[in-house]
Amino acid sequence: MKLIMKFGGTSVQNAESVRRAVDIVYGRYSLQDRLLVVVSAKRGVTDRLITCAEGMVTSRDADEVAELVSYLLDGHLATLREVAPDFCEETSEIITRRIENLRDFLYAVYHLRELTVRSRDYIISFGERLNAPVISAALRQRGIPSMVLDGCEAGITTTANHGDAIALPAGEARIRARLEPILDHSVPVITGFMGCTEKGVVTTLGRSGSDYSATIIGAALQADEIWIWTDVDGIMTTDPRLVPEARVIPRISYIEVMELSYFGAKVMHSRSIEPAMQKGIPVRVKNTFNPEFPGTVIEGGELKESRVVKAITYIDKVAAITITGAQMVGRPGVARHIFSLLAEHQINVMMISQGSSEANISLIIEAHQVRTAMEALQPLKERCVFRDIAANEDVCAVAVVGSGMAGMAGTAGRTFSALGKAGINVMMISQGSSEVNISFVVRQEDGPRAVHVLHQEFELTKQELC
Ligand code: ADP
Ligand code: ASP
Ligand code: MG
């Protein structure tokens, strides 16, 4: 079997978890699978890289760079010493050199007081670039031949929208040409999260992007399966941190996971399903801390539905923008103006709702883009395309997801009457035409309670029948 295994941050954060990951790889290696491993940065490292890089633009001193350098050096070398004593010397040289390179870049940001999107991507890709050599050395220590390639060397070719790049089809042949021959004699370890443009400029694939790296590679290599190793037993009926009674979903469709991840289920990167779906490759989500558990299989086709609603998800870092004005009524092109301007400013609109009177349009966007959106739309107000525009950041979005609700009457009714009974005021509603989700907006403080209420209403803690 040709298998891609991706290990997330918690699954490779210290020597103990790296050993666990190596055991998992060894298990499949001894079954003579053709394997490829994709790794994330250690948990927390990407956050620290982002904070430091952004901080250097305004910081009065560069002390934080030295702190970060010693944290990265100590952390990676300590793990390396434990998991790969025989390969310590050569690997620690690679890690030390990379950290020196990173340090120079951070100092450059400090001195120039400028962090371009390109330098930001280059800097934040270091988490994976420091971790991959450790994992590869640990595999070799276990007797598994292994080598490291970064996302760029692996052939992942992306658009130039830094920080959230999208894989280009042109990369497929490159990935195949570079990786396929290696699988015959080695288990390559690829740094997740990064790729590069046609011109070779480093890009990153968005937060949690290593999932995406795994499916891009899996699709290009036409893998038999892609396994995402994480810190929970699979995709669950909701975030277990929010509802501890959440239950694992044994089987779920690509489209349902796309909806879930798009609406905030952090368990998978929102674009990561698409490459697997296009090639019909099953994706399994499994727990490194409970590897025997079957986890969740994500696949296509008609899944026999035992229940209408599969999962509830919740996203809190959003804002609502409401545009009002009677002059929008019956006037063609208003929506086009609004959405073109937002697109020009790279603002992703997550939900849209327009009243039938057309006197208002409400949009949900990511909270960090509110200011940009308000500024982008201001010229339309000045040209009297609408009367008023307001932003509300005290909101969150909740989505009820399940392909079983397509064509089945009653889910929306049940959803909103349960919320009504609980005294939760719904501020905006949106249902995609695919009918795989019903999403709505409530005040931020009501979000977690809305998830609890609906988890109970749709009896999601009950054992799955199929
Ligand atoms: P990794 O570092 O392995 O990529 P992440 O932290 O990105 O892991 O994703 C796993 C986390 O996603 C879980 O610990 C869980 O809290 C969260 N999560 C949110 N929604 C869900 C869901 N519906 N099912 C499972 N996990 C979820
Ligand atoms: N390290 C990156 C992040 O923290 C990518 C990933 O973990 O998948 O977002
Ligand atoms: Mg993740």
Is there an atom of ligand 1 within 6 Å of 235 CB? yes
The residue-averaged pLDDT of 263-276 equals 91
Ligand 2 pocket mutation, candidates 6, 37, 42, 46, criterion most atoms within 8 A of CB: 46
Buried b (16+ CB within 10 A) or exposed e, 214-243: bbbbbbbbebebbbbbbbbbbbbbbbeeeb
The residue-averaged pLDDT of 125-151 equals 98
- Of the bound ligands, which one is closest to the alpha carbon of residue 243? 1
**What is the structure's pLDDT at 308?**
84
SS3 355: coil
Ligand 2 pocket mutation, candidates 207, 217, 272, criterion most atoms within 8 A of CB: 207
CB 182 within 8 A of CB 188: yes
Ligand 1 pocket mutation, candidates 247, 267, 309, criterion most atoms within 8 A of CB: 267
Distance 137 CA to ligand 3 centre (A): 23
Residue ranges in 306-462 assigned as alpha helix (H): 334-344, 370-382, 411-421, 447-457
| DSSP one-letter string for 197-233 | -TT--EEE--TTTHHHHHHHHHHHTT-SEEEEEESSS
Is there an atom of ligand 1 within 6 Å of 275 CB? no
Confidence of residue 464 (pLDDT cuts 50, 70, 90): low
Is there an atom of ligand 1 within 6 Å of 248 CB? no
* Ligand 2 atom nearest to CA at 40: 7
CB 275 within 8 A of CB 283: no
The residue-averaged pLDDT of 245-254 equals 94
Indicate the DSSP class of residue 117. Answer: H
**What is the structure's pLDDT at 435?**
77
- The rounded percent of the chain whose pLDDT value lies above 70 is 97
Radius of gyration of the chain from its Cα atoms, rounded to whole angstroms: 23
Confidence of residue 465 (pLDDT cuts 50, 70, 90): very low
Confidence of residue 307 (pLDDT cuts 50, 70, 90): confident
- Whose CA is closest to atom 6 on ligand 2? 208
Confidence of residue 269 (pLDDT cuts 50, 70, 90): very high
CA 378 to chain centre: 31
Q: What is the pTM of this model?
A: 0.93
Span 45-79, pLDDT tens digits: 999 999 999 999 999 999 999 999 999 999 999 99
Distance 317 CA to ligand 3 centre (A): 17
**What is the structure's pLDDT at 466?**
46
CB 220 within 8 A of CB 38: no
Is there an atom of ligand 1 within 6 Å of 230 CB? yes
The residue-averaged pLDDT of 176-198 equals 97
Span 146-184, pLDDT tens digits: 999 999 999 999 999 999 999 999 999 999 999 999 999
**What is the structure's pLDDT at 290?**
97
**What is the structure's pLDDT at 434?**
66
Instruction: Count the alpha carbons within 13 Å of 415 in the hemisphere toward its beta carbon.
Output: 24
Cα–Cα–Cα angle for 119, 124, 128, nearest 5°?
135
CB 175 within 8 A of CB 186: no
**What is the structure's pLDDT at 272?**
97
**What is the structure's pLDDT at 241?**
93
Structural element, H or E, at residue 7: strand 2-7
Span 17-37, pLDDT tens digits: 999 999 999 999 999 999 999
Confidence of residue 436 (pLDDT cuts 50, 70, 90): confident
Task: Pick the more confident residue, 296 or 461.
Answer: 296
> With the C-alpha atoms ordered 296, 277, 238, 464, is the resulting torsion angle positive or negative?
negative
CB 100 within 8 A of CB 37: no
Domains present along the chain, CATH in parentheses: 2-231 (3.40.1160.10)
The residue-averaged pLDDT of 97-115 equals 97
SS3 97: helix
Q: Which residues pair with 199 in a beta bridge?
A: none
Span 350-407, pLDDT tens digits: 888 887 666 888 999 999 999 999 999 999 888 888 889 999 999 999 999 998 887 7
- Of the bound ligands, which one is closest to the alpha carbon of residue 236? 1
Is there an atom of ligand 1 within 6 Å of 8 CB? yes
